[in-house]
Chains A and B, each alone.
Chain A
Amino acid sequence: MADPMRIRAQAAGDKTTVRVLMSHEMETGQRKDSAGKPIPAWFIQEVTTAHNGKTVMTAQWGPSVAKNPFLQFNVKGAKAGDKITVSWVDNKGDKRTDEATVS
């Protein structure tokens, strides 16, 4: 199981800015180890975010996304106290879900 994500959701007016920092290697599959063997690709493929349980945004990522990915987006109509849930699935089938409260 991967390390927890760090999620910060801050309401400003009628929208909420959500910033997520995930903990993941994001190995591209292009690099080689010291023995010259390619390191297999290992990256987050699918990100899903929900506001109070309703999916608001999904994303598909490729191996070009940086290590320990950062994601920022704005949710319309979310206010303080609402729940923001972020989950990801990587190409090995590993997954993680974390939740934050809008402040």
Chain B
Amino acid sequence: MQTRREMLAHSATVAGLLATAGLLPQTALAAWPQAAFEAKTMADAAKALGGGAPAPSGDVTITGPDIAENGAVVPVGAATTLPGVKQLLLLVEKNPSVLAAVFNVTDAVEANFNTRVKMGQSSNVYAVAMMADGKVLYAQKEIKVTLGGCGG
């Protein structure tokens, strides 16, 4: 026979398991691409979002400082002038999960987004354009961080 206390303990465990598996309704929100955000490399992130192998391109631009004093707030921007871009991605190579943000581009907005990211240490930052025809184009920039923004 199960006591009420055991029951509660069990349901808490199950709820915890569900939450980690991303099965609870609020964590399984909309189309948040969990696999892409867990990717450890740019190629994996691009693949998780349905793109091919990334290739460097001069038509994608990344903006950001050369040296960031505070890794907790690094202003970066991704932009492209190419037509037919579906998504713009921002990635930080040496963060625990490389993908920082995905912007879905429509006809009504320019493919030009600025935001701020956290960086654990000096690393390359990528702007990746996912094209409608499946091509993946990227630009990279090295940003040096004097004070890390993750951990501690």
Q: Which residues of A contact B (CB under 8 A)?
A: 15, 26, 28, 30-31, 45-46, 49, 51, 54-67, 69-77, 89, 91-93
Select B32's contact among A15, A60, A65, beta carbons within 8 Å: A60
B100 cross-chain contacts in A, Cβ below 8 A: 61-62, 64-65
A-B contact count (CB 8 A): 116
In the complex, how many residues of chain B place their beta carbon closer than 8 angstroms to a beta carbon of chain A? 41
Further contacts, 20 of them, CB under 8 A, given A15-B110, A60-B31, A60-B32 = A26-B118, A31-B151, A51-B108, A57-B103, A58-B104, A62-B37, A62-B97, A62-B100, A63-B97, A64-B119, A65-B101, A65-B117, A66-B115, A69-B116, A70-B75, A72-B113, A72-B114, A74-B109, A74-B112, A91-B27
Q: List 22 A-B contacts (CB under 8 A).
A: A49-B109, A57-B103, A57-B104, A57-B109, A58-B103, A59-B102, A60-B31, A60-B102, A64-B92, A64-B101, A65-B101, A65-B117, A66-B115, A66-B118, A70-B114, A70-B115, A72-B115, A73-B109, A73-B113, A74-B112, A76-B108, A91-B27
State the CA gap A69–B101 with chains docked (Å): 11
Q: Which residues of B contact A31 (CB under 8 A)?
A: 150-152
* B interface residues, Cβ below 8 angstroms from A: 26-27, 29-33, 37, 72-75, 77, 92, 95-97, 99-110, 112-119, 149-152
- CB of B31 within 8 A of CB of A65, answer no
Chain B residues, CB < 8 A from A49: 109
Residues of A within 8 A of B108 (CB): 51, 54, 56-57, 75-77
Closest residue on chain A to residue B24 by CB atoms = A93
Return the contact of A57 from the options B32, B73, B105 (Cβ within 8 A).
B105
- With A31-B150, A59-B103, A75-B108 as given contacts, are A67 and B96 in contact (CB-CB < 8 Å)? no
